[in-house]
Structure 1
Amino acid sequence: MEAGAVFDFLVPTKIMFGRGQVKKLHNCRLPGRKALIVITSGKSARENGYLDIVKQELKRSDVAYVVYDKVASNPVVENIVEGADKAREHKCDFIIGLGGGSAIDAGKAIAMMAVNDGELWDYMGTGTGKGLPVKEKPLPVIAITTTAGTGSEADSAFVISNEETNEKIGLYLPELFPAIAVVDPEMMTTVPPKYTAFQGFDALFHSTEGYISNKAHLMSDMVAATAIELIGRNLTAAVKNGSDLEARERVALGSTLSGMQLAIGSLTSAHSLEHAMSAYHQNLPHGAGLVLISAAYYKHFVNVPELRERYIKMAKALGAEEAAEPMDFIKALEHLIEECGLSDLKMSEYGILKEEFEKFAKNAKFSMGSKFLNDYTMLSEEDCVEIFMESYR
């Protein structure tokens, strides 16, 4: 594959990266006078003190706030409706997404729907969405990430699930780039090992997919390759010792770079396949789903001649310095999965049945069919089912 030299680059977010950066938020010119702080329904933001830190920073800036704390681990339409209603009710003029990708993605969607009429799903451009234009500029967003996974702090998209139609799809809008992103590794030390691994692989696959996409170009290659190396060589240490700030820092930077890769590059059908799985099984963490299908998915493209050198380079980035064949990437990936304690993951543990694979394949093609166009060779529905079958345990 020859990487093209023509591309658009737009990542207008002010990124505050590094240890202790969250406590410098009050030094920034914030984009409003009253914030809706969006967190998930879990306990981590409160119990770990992160919500209190953000509240204190807002008080130091003389900025008012209210909290919306109902977001699901896979955000659903209902969360966005409730959050937007609360933002309007309290006359909030900007949104803070505090947490992982779920909170930040929900914050972006709430920022859009707080000022636009109608139903959220009507604005979605794929699946059963109607692709309606977003007429009003979304409220400004500040993204404060407490995980290293989605990279949502550095891109202009959100992903939402529609429980009524079993669709999990994204919307890209340039106006949804966060005004400010805070990436503070000290806020990530409390993430449990398993979820550190899930989130790290999510970030890793954002860049490996971009690197083998037919839309790859010189700039996306630079960002993706660096992210693959940062995550691939440090994730194991972060999983095994959550207090290892050096490892956390490098994985966090890799995650943010992977978010940039999403903004300037592309994803492939791997994300379409996983979204189909977790659209029907909300208890399946996104990163876990990607890990489950990863070996079979990447093996499917391993013999594409144009991808040969890219697979070898990805293997070396993961630490396999002597890599000489495309399959060395698969081996390096499987080794990383094992080192991170995820080699025993099973679809069946999440209630997934073999009988669902055809349904997943059709859903992936219908809901996120555009990602299949980024593959170097087009996957058929039969190919998708085969990947699911090979991944099943």
Structure 2
Amino acid sequence: MKFQYYIPTKVLFGCGQLSKLHKQKLPGKKALIVISSGTSVKKFGYLAKVQEQLDKAGVEYAVFDKILPNPIQSHVMEGAAFAKQEGCDFVIGLGGGSIIDSAKAIAVMATNEGDFWDYIFGGTGGKNMPKNDPLPIVAITTTAGTGTEADPWAVITHQDRNEKIGFGYDKSFPVLSIVDPELMVSVPEKLTAYQGFDALFHSTEGYLNKNMSPINDMYTLKAIELIGKYLPIAVKDGQNLEARENVALANTLSGMSESISGCISEHAMEHPLSGHNPKLEHGAGLIMICQAYYAYWAHRGVVDQRMIDMAKALGRRDATKPEDFVTALHELMVACGVDDLKMSDYGIQEGDLEMYTKAAYETMGGLFTVDPAPMPFEDCFKIYQESYK
């Protein structure tokens, strides 16, 4: 029973917590507010609320509004240059996972030389460690999907190489995170589902990860339970604050699991799909491969009890075999209306599946090393084939 636990982020959780931002000890005098290239945070008034809180705190700000749903390296570098130009001394990520991930990456590059890819450890990354601490990061999440408000990770795509790779270290944790479910009621039905499944798989992968611990088990099983119970409600009724709050809690717990355990090869397999096809939502890509993926581990017989545990947490209290988790997972997909997703609808070609398999090992190969057991290349390829439609 040996494990490391390190989550240095202060989390303000619950409805109305954004209104307490001005009372916090903020880590600087001028913030770079990072938001998406879309209109939602402006249209629903979230940006104005953050600006009002900063005004109350006597903190200046500048806004960088170019981040894409699958964020890219060039925007990280542009945002870092803008932060330097504006004299910002901390970064606020206001939005979903792509925004907060970008805020972390921008914070790193605002204080370090070279290119962001110099510090990426997978694929064609330079595998260097940043010499200087990043600017402090404040995360204000408007979605429940990635758990990035409670972990150090940032997933960025190199737009010229189609490499989608995670980056993170102890210094890239947010110093402060606000998880206010009132900011999530505007998320559309499909995105609520995609994001909820992303959070689910952070926990299921964390529970199957070789780096397991008693604390991680508590976080992951509770998150799986909350998502199984409340995600279908949040999908069907986005205004239901009880459901939103419980899915948000599951998401934050999943982020904590990401910090002390981490994902396994399911995420490594999805990243090439959305890395090469930017219109594919990350959560949707995970849903497309999840049934074949977990059926594979059920068949391998190396984590039977853990899969039974997850099935019970997901609502099948009478679960007795690992395949019960795959059944429970399918039932949740049906309940959330995402059981009909097709790779072909996003332009993914069946003839490219071997290329995606190679990319999974090349760009995120480290995740295969923490699988419950080694996954041979041909098995990974077969999971893609069985998922294709």
Query: TM-score, normalization: structure 2?
Result: 0.99
1:225 is aligned to 221
In structure 2, which of residues 37, 55, 62 is the aligned counterpart of residue 59 of structure 1?
A: 55
1:188 is the counterpart of 2:184: yes
Cα pair 2:46 2:183 within 8 Å, conserved: yes
1:10 aligns with 2:6: yes
1:314 aligns to what SS in structure 2? helix
Query: 1:264, CA displacement in angstroms?
Result: 0.4
Counterpart of 1:237 in structure 2 is 233
Gaps of 5+ in 2: none
Instruction: Note if contact 1:216-1:266 (Cα within 8 Å) is conserved in structure 2.
Output: no
Question: Which residue of the partner structure matches residue 44 of structure 1?
Answer: 40
State the Cα deviation string for residues 174-216 of structure 1 (Å, max 9, x = none).
1111010000001000000100000000000000001111221
Matches of 1:22 and 1:284 in 2, distance apart? 30
For residues 51 and 64 of structure 1, the distance between their equivalents in structure 2, rounded to whole angstroms, comes to 14
* Aligned 8 A contact 2:152 2:168 in 1: yes
Cα root mean square deviation, aligned: 0.8
Separation (CA, whole Å) in 1 of partners of 2:70 and 2:302: 36
Aligned to 2:330: 334
Name the SS for the 1:56 alignment partner.
Answer: helix
Q: Percent identity?
A: 50
Deviation digits for residues 85-142 of structure 1 (CA, Å, limit 9, x no counterpart): 1100000000000000010000000000001000110111111111112100000000
Q: What is the rounded CA distance, in whole Å, between the counterparts of 2:73 and 2:184 in structure 1?
A: 27
Equivalent of 1:32 in 28, 33, 51: 28
Task: Please give the residue correspondences for 1:194-233 in structure 2 after superposition, counting only pairs within 5 Å.
Answer: 194-233=190-229
Judge conservation of contact 2:302–2:373 (CA < 8 Å) in 1. Answer: no
Are the equivalent residues in 1 in contact too, given 2:145–2:199 (CA < 8 A)? yes
User: How far did residue 305 of structure 1 move?
Assistant: 3.4
Question: What is aligned with 1:131?
Answer: 127
Give CA-to-partner distance per residue, 1:290-329, whole Å, 9 cap, x none. 0000000001110343411111111111111111111110
Normalising by structure 1, we get a TM-score of: 0.98
- Residue of structure 2 in register with 1:366 after alignment: 362
Distance 1:322 1:47 in 2: 46
Instruction: Give me the whole-angstrom Cα distance separating, in 2, the residues matched to 1:384 and 1:8.
Output: 30
How many equivalent pairs are there?
A: 389
Q: 2:388 aligns with which of 381, 385, 392?
A: 392
1:349 maps to 2:358: no
> Separation in 1 of the partners of 2:349 and 2:377?
17
2:154 is paired with a residue of what secondary structure? strand
What is the CA distance between 1:219 and its match in structure 2? Answer: 1.6
1-structure distance, mates of 2:83, 2:384: 41
Give 2:323's aligned amino acid: M
**Matching residue within 70, 77, 92 for 2:73:** 77
Q: CA deviation at 1:381?
A: 2.1
Conserved 8 A contact 2:74-2:159: no
